[in-house]
Amino acid sequence: MLEHEIKNKVLTIGNRKGQTVYYAYPKSQQKLTNDMVVERIVRETSLSEGDVKNALVSLSNVVCDALQLGMSVDLAELGSFRLVVPSKMMDTPAEVTVKDAMKTPKIVFTPKQKMRDAANKVELSIDRGTTTTSTPDEGNDDSGQGTFG
């Protein structure tokens, strides 16, 4: 379950400038640690703890090597990783160079249907007990997604 609390803030730009708005903000999320993942895989397979840890380290190395070569990586039922390198808009073809036009590479994860279905089945709740005022840095992640890299 993902628990949220209600926060408010005063908008500083746009049509609703000066208006107080309210929104759901996630409370701290529970975390499945690496050790917990290893333990669960050991229980569900015939692999040893060392085998699972080595496989996860090797997977990380393989994915990093592939991304460094500009390749995408398909991880079966999980999804795929790929690099995206946005380009700035330049006025002339001569200005389009790696140094001037290319932005910082980003890693994009695209989940497969099984993972999207799992995310869509999560139970959500809002704690209506308190309303807090957000700080300027909170609640400004417009992506709605986790970031890798």
Domains and CATH numbers, the chain: 2-133 (4.10.520.10)
Q: What is the pLDDT of residue 98?
A: 87
Q: What is the pLDDT of residue 130?
A: 66
Burial of 81 (0-12, 13-18, 19+ CB in 10 A): buried
Q: What is the pLDDT of residue 18?
A: 93
Q: What is the pLDDT of residue 75?
A: 96
Beta pairing, strands 106-111 & 20-26: unpaired
pLDDT (tens digit, 0 to 9) for every residue of the chain, 149 residues total? 888 899 999 999 999 999 999 999 988 888 899 999 999 999 999 999 999 999 999 999 999 999 999 999 999 999 999 999 999 998 999 989 988 899 999 999 999 999 999 999 999 998 887 667 766 555 444 433 333 33
Give the Cα separation of 61 and 59 in Å (integer). Answer: 5
The amino acid at 126: I
Q: What is the pLDDT of residue 129?
A: 76
Give the Cα separation of 87 and 1 in Å (integer). Answer: 39
Q: What is the pLDDT of residue 137?
A: 54
- Find the angle CA(51)-CA(109)-CA(144) to the nearest 5 degrees: 125
Q: What are the angstrom distances between the C-alpha of 32 and each of 37, 41, 100, 116, 130?
A: 7, 12, 41, 18, 27
